[in-house]
């Protein structure tokens, strides 16, 4: 079986490094602080918080994981919260009884199937949830924190709370969190620019709340060791230089390292030999070839100015608003570059890291470079 996994949360021996970050997050949370975890897309934020939850739970902390990506209505938000909390409670019947006391406008139902197994569902008063229901639901973690228990709530894809702007849920959650005792939070999300706006803008309820932790790429020596061990366990050899080349091809982004390694494994497994840079190049070409139409479509939807900026960032993403940069890449004035950056960032096509911009998908970057002879 292919030993490289990408796209899912990685756990156990699929997860390497991040020891220092794990310790920092665990100690910050157990010290009674909230944390905001920042990193560009696909750097391993969600996998890291799963590791953190594992360690916290081994210390007796109750951890609740909530992913807001799939919430599209108040009812789905309520169900998500309730189900996440239910997982941490003992008997379903007791939980249902407690829940009807804690949240007045919902009626939990427990039914027993022919096999005697209980199933849990919710009925909403008047058939739907309102902001008051959600307010009570946001306080559920406090009920878990009774009897001296510590609780950590992880809210993933937190930027999606802005879907509920008209109910002011961002402010509601912030004030509830401030009142809670023995409950701490980790906030993270894949849309980094929206997360930044939520925590760095004075006008937003979550301004300056929580200790900001930034994670970067995984250390190269650990990635090299991981790649070499995984290939070796299937009788394949990859040298240090080839590992470095693979890492460089994908801009050192953890998700794409695993993706490229997975395609490489597939290519070499049938004809085992010492892996060369040519093998890696062929895999890159395969990936770009497979996704070429999609990349072209993505590129074509932008205006000429946005395309010019994408081409420029594909080559170099430093100081992109400087007059030297604008001249060198024959771009429109800085104010227009700003507008293009806003559109491309909103779409997630480009991202910012340490003041520099880069194309989020390293294969799209290589596609643009190859296609336009840059």
Asked if residue 255 binds ligand ATP (CB under 6 A), the reply is: yes
Work out what residue 15 binds among ligand ATP, Mg ion, none; the CB cut-off runs from 5 to 8 Å by kind. ligand ATP
Burial 188-221 (b: 16+ CB within 10 A, else e): bbbbbbbbbbbbeeeebbbeebbeebebebbeee
Asked if residue 41 binds ligand ATP (CB under 6 A), the reply is: yes
Q: CA 189 to CA 193: how far, in whole Å?
A: 10
Q: How far is CA 155 from CA 160, 186, 372, in A?
A: 10, 6, 41
Q: Which of 94, 106, 98, 184 is nearest to 145 (CA)?
A: 184
Work out what residue 320 binds among Mg ion, ligand ATP, none; the CB cut-off runs from 5 to 8 Å by kind. none
Smallest gap from Cβ 41 to ligand ATP, in A, equals: 4
Smallest gap from Cβ 113 to ligand ATP, in A, equals: 34
Q: Residue 7 or residue 118: which is nearer to Mg ion going by CB?
A: 7
Binding mask 158-197 toward ligand ATP (x if CB under 6 A, else -) reads --------------------------------x-------
Q: How far is CA 286 from CA 37, 194, 238, 263, 301, in A?
A: 34, 33, 19, 9, 24
Q: CA 296 to CA 334: how far, in whole Å?
A: 26
Instruction: Select the residue interacting with ligand ATP from 46, 71, 308, 340 (CB under 6 A).
Output: 46
Instruction: Select the residue interacting with Mg ion from 46, 242, 258, 306 (CB under 5 A).
Output: 46
Q: CA 65 to CA 156: how far, in whole Å?
A: 8
Instruction: Select the residue interacting with ligand ATP from 22, 184, 242, 258 (CB under 6 A).
Output: 258
Q: Residue 78 or residue 238: which is nearer to ligand ATP going by CB?
A: 238
Q: CA 132 to CA 138: how far, in whole Å?
A: 10
Q: Is 360:41 a contact under the CB 8 Å cutoff? A: yes
Pairing of strands 106-112, 118-124: antiparallel
Asked if residue 42 binds ligand ATP (CB under 6 A), the reply is: yes
Q: Residue 194 or residue 284: which is nearer to ligand ATP going by CB?
A: 194
Asked if residue 360 binds Mg ion (CB under 5 A), the reply is: no
Residue 123 DSSP class: E
Asked if residue 34 binds Mg ion (CB under 5 A), the reply is: no
Tokens 């997860």 correspond to 15
Binding mask 218-247 toward ligand ATP (x if CB under 6 A, else -) reads x-----------------------------
Q: CA 60 to CA 41: how far, in whole Å?
A: 31
Instruction: Select the residue interacting with ligand ATP from 20, 35, 47, 219 (CB under 6 A).
Output: 47
Interface residues with ligand ATP (CB under 6 A)?
5-10, 14-18, 39, 41-47, 190, 218, 254-255, 258
Interacting residues toward Mg ion by CB under 5 A: 46
């Amino acid at each position: 079986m292919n030993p490289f996994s990408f796209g899912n949360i990685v756990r156990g021996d699929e997860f390497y490094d991040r020891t220092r970050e794990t310790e920092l997050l665990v100690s910050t949370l157990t010290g009674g602080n909230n944390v905001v975890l920042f990193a560009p897309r696909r750097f391993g934020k969600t996998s890291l918080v799963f590791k953190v939850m594992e360690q916290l739970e081994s210390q007796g902390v109750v951890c609740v994981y909530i992913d807001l990506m799939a919430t599209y209505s108040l009812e789905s938000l309520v169900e998500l919260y309730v189900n996440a909390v239910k997982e941490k409670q003992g008997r379903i019947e007791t939980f249902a009884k407690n829940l009807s006391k804690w949240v007045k406008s919902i009626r939990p139902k427990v039914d027993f199937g022919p096999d005697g197994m209980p199933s849990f569902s919710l009925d909403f008063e008047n058939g739907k949830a309102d902001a008051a229901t959600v307010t009570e639901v946001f306080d559920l973690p406090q009920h878990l924190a009774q009897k001296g228990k510590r609780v950590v709530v992880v809210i993933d894809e937190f930027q999606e709370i802005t879907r509920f702007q008209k109910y002011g849920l961002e402010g509601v959650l912030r004030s509830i969190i401030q009142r809670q005792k023995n409950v701490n939070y980790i906030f993270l999300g894949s849309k980094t620019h929206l997360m930044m706006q939520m925590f760095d803008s004075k006008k937003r309820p979550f301004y300056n709340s929580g200790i900001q932790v930034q994670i970067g790429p995984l250390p190269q020596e650990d990635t090299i060791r991981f790649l070499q061990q995984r290939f070796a366990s299937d009788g394949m050899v990859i040298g240090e230089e080839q590992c470095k080349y693979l890492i460089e091809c994908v801009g050192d982004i953890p998700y794409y390292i695993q993706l490229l390694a997975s395609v490489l494994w597939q290519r070499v497994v049938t004809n085992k030999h010492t892996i060369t840079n040519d093998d890696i190049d062929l895999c890159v070409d395969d990936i770009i070839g497979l996704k070429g139409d999609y990349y072209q479509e993505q590129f074509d939807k932008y205006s000429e100015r946005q395309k010019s900026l994408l081409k420029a960032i594909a080559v170099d993403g430093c100081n992109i608003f400087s007059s030297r940069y604008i001249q060198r890449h024959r771009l429109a004035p800085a104010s227009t570059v700003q507008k293009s950056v806003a559109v491309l960032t909103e779409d997630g096509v480009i991202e910012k890291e340490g003041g520099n911009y880069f194309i989020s998908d390293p294969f799209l970057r290589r596609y643009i470079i190859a296609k336009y002879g840059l």
